Amino acid sequence: MLAIEGGRPVRPRGSFLVFGAPAIGEEEIAAVVDSLRKRWIGTGPKVAKFERDFAAYKGAHHAIAVGSCTAALHLSLLSLNLEPGDEVVTTSMTFCSTVNAILHAGAKPVLADCDRRTMNLTAETIEAHLTSRTRAIIVVHMCGRVCPMPEILALARRRGLVVIEDCAHAIEATCEGIGAGRLGELGCFSFYATKNLTTAEGGMILTASADTADRLRRLALHGLSADAYRRFSDAGYRHYFMTQPGFKYNMTDIQAAIGIEQLRKVETHWQRRAQIWQEYKAAFEDLPCYLPPRMPEGSRHGYHLFTPLLDLDRLSVSRDRILQAMTAENIGVGVHYLPVHAHPYYASGWDWKRGDFPNAEFIGDRTISLPLTGDLSPRAVGDVITAFRRVLTYYHR
Ligand SMILES: *Cc1c(COP(=O)(O)O)cnc(C)c1O
């Protein structure tokens, strides 16, 4: 008997498995305490170190730490000097901030559909929406699966477009040996609490251009000519000059302190998630759902979200009932995502309606994200498997 039907939950009362709870250890806690004791809590030496470490991990020329991936996307778009009426193509199958950032940069968001299996944009779905006003493409590497970048980059080159990568799910992912975030001109990362690497809140931009890196740094801190670290160091008093009204998008040393420690563990956590991924796939093969596809040979999965698509034709209830049933078993679940064009703001006053992006809608109606964190215990993974099997078997028709 399912818990939602009055039975006993798989996990006992008081031990709810929170979806996306971060893998935080004593090292992160000690690093934050160290920052507090040193009284350097703003942007300082730890941010500089985190940027160096992250650039080294990704093999990137320049890494600019910011307050969020949303800020990273916003600044990346601003660095393109877009004009009103310029269009940026992205996917409807993403978190809303990918699209909001285009609005904030003063450009027009243009949505494209995704592939039903990979959940990613393809060169074909993008090309259908290119016009003479298109200036850039934001690809989103959903769940940690890198988009088909060779084709997309070839299309962008042919049409003279800039490619920005939303790598919020894809820190560890690669495409033909090149790290996500270095495939296009700009790569944006999220260190939000639920992401593969967290700083509580935070983001990073990668670029190969020293000029762009310099502009992004200024824009991220009021448009000042020198950052606070240099301003308050013992190298002597320095005036600062504002050269352009920028934003308050800097990362703090408290956040970077967490990030430095998280980065040391990023591969260990990735390996654990890869292992859980295989366990889930093996355990759910016979259930009425479509399991996530494999990556193409030579590419590396980021394993950020494990998202079976429920086979509604073989289930007697809706996806939302399954979400409730899992929650009743004391297992936290997520939805990634309801398509962007289904959100009230974009559903009215914009040119989009249900039916426009059938694959994004197909996914949005069926997807459920199960817990996948680098420190999940074998017991917790076993509970997720027991609960998901129990719920889907119960409602199988
Ligand atoms: C989390 C996420 C964002 C936003 O990241 P923040 O750091 O919270 O601003 C953007 N895009 C995608 C695909 C995300 O998953």
d(CA 51, CA 66): 10
Q: Which residues pair with 250 in a beta bridge?
A: 66
- 226 pLDDT higher than 80: no
| Residue to substitute in 66, 75, 95 for testing ligand 1 pocket (most ligand atoms within 8 angstroms of CB) | 95
Residue 163 three-state SS? strand
Angle between helices 378-394 and 266-284 (to 10 degrees): 30
Q: Tokens 């940690």 label which residue?
A: 144
Going from the Cα of 164 to the center of ligand 1, the distance in angstroms, rounded, reads 14
> Taking 70 as the threshold, does the pLDDT of residue 358 lie above it?
yes
User: For 172-181, 183-192, 293-302, 307-316, which range has the lowest pLDDT when averaged over its residues?
Assistant: 293-302
Least confident range from 12-21, 156-165, 238-247: namely 238-247
Query: Model confidence at 229, in pLDDT bands (50, 70, 90)?
Result: low
Residue whose CA is at the smallest distance from ligand 1 atom 8: 192
d(CA 262, CA 182): 21
In 3D space, the residue among 52, 81, 46 whose CA is nearest the CA of residue 64 turns out to be 52
Instruction: Quickly state the pLDDT bin for 295 (edges 50, 70, 90).
Output: confident
Note the pLDDT of residue 289: 98
Q: What is the DSSP string of 167-204?
A: -TT-TT-EETTEETTSSSSEEEEE--TTSSS--SS-EE
Widest CA span in the chain = 74
pLDDT at 7 over 80: yes
140 CA closest ligand 1 atom index = 13
Q: Which residues contact 317 (CB under 8 A, 6 or more apart)?
A: 325, 395
> Cβ distance 333 to 383 under 8 Å?
no
Please check the confidence at residue 257 and state whether its pLDDT lies above 60. yes
Predicted confidence (pLDDT) at residue 228 exceeds the cutoff of 70:
no
CA 78 to the chain's CA centroid: 20
Residues in the chain: 397
Give the residue numbers marked as catalytic: 195
Which residue in 124, 118, 99, 95 sits closest to 109, CA to CA? 99
Structural domains in the chain plus CATH codes: 3-23+266-333+368-394 (3.90.1150.10), 26-263 (3.40.640.10)
Residues 186/209, Cβ–Cβ less than 8 Å = no
By most ligand atoms within 8 Å of CB, the mutation choice from 19, 66, 68, 69 for ligand 1 is: 69
Q: Report whether pLDDT(197) > 60.
A: yes
Q: pLDDT tier at 231 (50, 70, 90 boundaries)?
A: low
Q: How far is CA 336 from CA 158, 299, 347, in A?
A: 32, 22, 18
What is the chain's mean pLDDT, rounded?
96
Cα 70 to ligand 1 centre (Å):
6
Mean of the pLDDT values across residues 322-344? 98
Percent of the chain with pLDDT over 70: 98
The SS3 call for residue 380 is helix
Q: Please tell me whether the overall predicted TM-score, pTM, comes out greater than 0.95 for this model.
A: yes
267-277: average pLDDT: 98
Task: Give the rounded distance of the alpha carbon of 282 from its chain centre.
Answer: 26
pLDDT for residue 42 is more than 60:
yes
- Per residue in 140-193, pLDDT (tens digit) is 999 999 999 999 999 999 999 999 999 999 999 999 999 999 999 999 999 999
Atom of ligand 1 nearest to the CA of 190: 7
User: Following DSSP, what letter does each residue of 87-102 receive, concatenated?
Assistant: EEEEESSS-HHHHHHH
- Segment 374-379 mean pLDDT: 97
Phi/psi for 162 (5° steps) reads: -90, 140
Chain centroid, CA 233 distance in Å:
34
Distance in angstroms (rounded) separating the CA atoms of residues 308 and 369: 7
